[in-house]
Amino acid sequence: MSRLLCAVIAIFWLSCVAGAADAAAQPATLPPLRLEQVASGIHVLRAPGFEVDAANAGFVSNIGVIEDGPGLVLIGSGTSARFARHLQDFVQRTLGKPVVLVVNLHGGGDHVLGNGVFEAQGIPVVAHRETDRFIRASCQGCVDRLTSALGAAMMSDTEPAAATLLMDGTGRLPIVSRRLRLIHPGHTFQPGACALYDEATGVLFAGELAAHGYLPDLYNGREVQWRDALVELRALHPGVVVPSRGAPADASMLAETHRYLAELVRQTDALFEQGASLQEVTQTLDIPGFEDWYGYAQWHRRNVHFAYLHREQREFSPAAAPDTRGSARLP
């Protein structure tokens, strides 16, 4: 009887190992890519949706492609090493030019986890110094979460790779001849989060700083600074705004995101000054007009929670959190 049991266990174990090997051998599917031109020499690869799943291979963040003479500048490197190779092959084949520079506007995993593919070829990756720190501190967790969501096959060979060229503030990108300005307005979506402005066409790559239909997420953010950053970006009078999430649009996109953040700050401040508790504010503060935006059901209450804590910090630790209640408004 024990021999029979051992044989059954052995067969079961061998079948599990074989099944796992077969699953590992299955090729992970990469999504089709399509270039959308938004201005002369400026293109965007639109992500098919907001939710990470096997069908999109984690491609949930738009990628910019800027032609710079004989080369290409990528805004974002994608979610994995496999996707980055897929991305590079597609843009080089379609536009007939090599990638010469990659830009990281923030440290989100879906935006930076392809960095290593380009760096291995000697292609520089530029980012703000604070974004570089964020990648080093946080992106191994991004790899782990995406591996759980997409499987080991899709995420094989993917390791966090920080930037190779660091910038400390707003300034024009090195290496390229096109006048591309990296704009760092302070701690907004994340410490180091930036936008990129093409001076020739007036196209603004807003990164995570603005979107239509996608709610700002304050998990690593600062709502007052973010609100004020949108005033600075609107002053550029961009003709086209390309967000990380959703479709490109005109500058009204900046105003929409600003309205949510400004109303969040205004209501939180008013309730705080009336003596409302954190629990009361979190349960009652709503902002009409954004209920249908992606993320409102998931993290609006969390945004309120953070906004209240930041307001409390400004009240009791003004040196650590300067009071900015006199900030400018969008025109």
Strands 165-167 and 125-128, sheet pairing? parallel
Mean pLDDT of 271-291: 97
Q: Is 211 exposed, middle or buried (0-12, 13-18, 19+ CB in 10 A)?
A: buried
pLDDT at 12 over 60: no
Q: Domain of residue 95: give its range.
A: 26-166
The per-residue pLDDT for range 52-81, each reduced to its tens digit, is: 999 999 999 999 999 999 999 999 999 999
The per-residue pLDDT for range 239-254, each reduced to its tens digit, is: 999 999 999 999 999 9
C-alpha 167/C-alpha 201 separation (Å) is 23
Residue 198 inside a domain? The answer is no
**Using 50, 70 and 90 to split pLDDT, how confident is the model at 29?**
confident
- What pLDDT shows up at residue 319? 61
279 vs 181, 218, 273, 282, CA distance in Å?
42, 18, 15, 5
Looking at the fold, whether 128 and 230 belong to one and the same domain comes out as no
Mean pLDDT of 160-179: 96
Per the DSSP assignment, residues forming a β-bridge with 172 are 181
Taking alpha carbons only, the member of 274, 273, 277 closest to residue 304 is 277
- What pLDDT shows up at residue 86? 98
Looking at the fold, whether 140 and 241 belong to one and the same domain comes out as no
Looking at the fold, whether 50 and 132 belong to one and the same domain comes out as yes
Looking at the fold, whether 69 and 131 belong to one and the same domain comes out as yes
pLDDT at 97 over 90: yes
What is the reported pTM?
0.88
Radius of gyration of the chain (CA): 22
The secondary structure of 13-53 as a DSSP string is HHHHHHHHHHHHHSPPP-----EEEEETTEEEE--S-SS--
Q: Pick the more confident residue, 301 or 323.
A: 301
Give me the count of residues in the chain.
331
The last residue of one of the domains, among 166, 195, 226, is 166
C-alpha 48/C-alpha 244 separation (Å) is 12
Looking at the fold, whether 234 and 286 belong to one and the same domain comes out as yes
- What pLDDT shows up at residue 124? 98
Residue 190 inside a domain? The answer is no
Looking at the fold, whether 323 and 217 belong to one and the same domain comes out as yes
- What pLDDT shows up at residue 28? 65
Taking alpha carbons only, the member of 63, 93, 96, 42 closest to residue 245 is 63
Looking at the fold, whether 305 and 221 belong to one and the same domain comes out as yes
Which position has the token pair 């007939």? 96
Residue 204 inside a domain? The answer is no
The per-residue pLDDT for range 176-215, each reduced to its tens digit, is: 999 999 999 999 999 999 999 999 999 999 999 999 999 9
Q: Which CATH number is 95's domain given?
A: 3.60.15.10
Number of compact structural domains in the chain = 2
**Other C-beta atoms lying within 10 Å of the C-beta of residue 37:** 11
Dihedral sign (CA 78, 79, 81, 86)? negative
Residue 201 inside a domain? The answer is no
Of the chain, the end-to-end C-alpha distance in Å amounts to 83
C-alpha 52/C-alpha 170 separation (Å) is 32
